[in-house]
Amino acid sequence: MSRDLPRPLRYAPLVPDPTPGPLQLPVPSGWYSLGFDDELPLDTVVTRRLAGHELVVVRRADGVSVLDAWCPHLGAHLGVGGRLEGDALRCPFHGFRFDLDDGRCVSTPYGGKAPPAARLRTWRARAVHGLVLCWYGAAGEDPSWEVPEWSRRGWSAWRHHRFELRGHPQEVAENAADMGHFGVVHGYESVEATGPMTTDGPLLHASYVFGRPSGGVVGSASSRVTMTIHQWGLGHALVEAEVQPMGLRTRHLVLSLPVEPDRLHLRIGVSVAWPGRSRDLHPLLAPVPRRWLAEAIAALGIRRYAGEVAQDVPIWEHKAWLPRPALAQGDGPIAAYRRWASQFAPQDYGPTSGTSAVRSGG
């Protein structure tokens, strides 16, 4: 995260409701981001948490490894003093070494055969468009779909920010279908859907056009924004936007990492396309190199984007989960979204009846 960005926002957790009702939202299956590349330096052991599991992440030039953090020998945390030795992870307590790909112990300092039971659990992980993704199967299942790679050529580096909050990936992703909040929470004007929300297995598409008041990252006049949301599962969303009249194209990432069933690390990112000509954005920008301009706009854009997401955070933290919300015309396709989202919950979980209000993840 860039040093000049505001510190991650934190909100005090709510006091648990003594009578929360019967429904709880489990951590859904899906691909979750453990961080951007610059948060996970090459050949370095970094600790992460996913759905209550303590993990260590090692990003290498030829791939990424994610393993359980506790040494199966005598329980040392491999993210605290553990280090790489060739293609193995060395425990800081007794020097046991573990293969990064399959987690088996390959040697001990005592010589002889390594104990077969000394084996780390490995997690399915991918390095995709500047991120490290890890699969979580709510029922222990293997991944049945992937988040696709896309070209980053002609785009700025990701500028990003992280929030820590009480919440759940389903509540965050629901914003893609919730048209009503765009004007009330974010001040967008004349919000319209430019087509129906569509789904295809784990992928959801939604598109909108709206007016944004003055104060954008380029110029001071009001602008018209076309926004297309691509949501893969409940933890990974790419938002493609074009700002008129200057023709600025941006990409935004919304990445939920459920560290516990009721706690999120929410990462957001901004990348900006190199303009065809710098003067297309503003005549005074004509001498500025296209690449430098895109990087500068992204640095400004993450500030505004973090400010907009910060408007949602207190609502997510304090809202209740209503299995049967009293929807109104104009809300957007929230009911259709929830039917789509249900595929990521464990098969034996079915919040389809009852009217109890349960705090999100409470």
C-alpha–C-alpha distance, residues 177 and 181, integer Å:
10
Burial degree of 170 (CB within 10 A; 0-12, 13-18, 19+): buried
On average, the pLDDT of the chain sits at 87
C-alpha–C-alpha distance, residues 62 and 227, integer Å:
34
Backbone angles phi, psi at 318, to 5 degrees: -110, -5
C-alpha–C-alpha distance, residues 362 and 65, integer Å:
32
Residue-wise pLDDT for 315-356, tens only, equals: 999 988 888 899 998 899 999 999 999 999 987 655 433 333
Average pLDDT over every residue of 102-129: 96
Query: Does the pLDDT value for residue 2 go beyond 60?
Result: no
Percent pLDDT > 70 in the chain is 83
Task: Identify the pLDDT of residue 212.
Answer: 81
Burial degree of 219 (CB within 10 A; 0-12, 13-18, 19+): middle
Task: Identify the pLDDT of residue 118.
Answer: 97
Of 96, 106, 56, the C-alpha closest to 78 is 56
Please state the length of the chain: 362
Task: Identify the pLDDT of residue 289.
Answer: 73
Residue-wise pLDDT for 63-106, tens only, equals: 999 999 999 999 999 999 999 998 999 999 999 999 999 999 99
C-alpha–C-alpha distance, residues 326 and 180, integer Å:
13
3-state SS assignment for residue 279: helix
Cβ-based neighbours of 193, under 8 Å, separated by 6 or more: 179, 206, 207, 208, 332
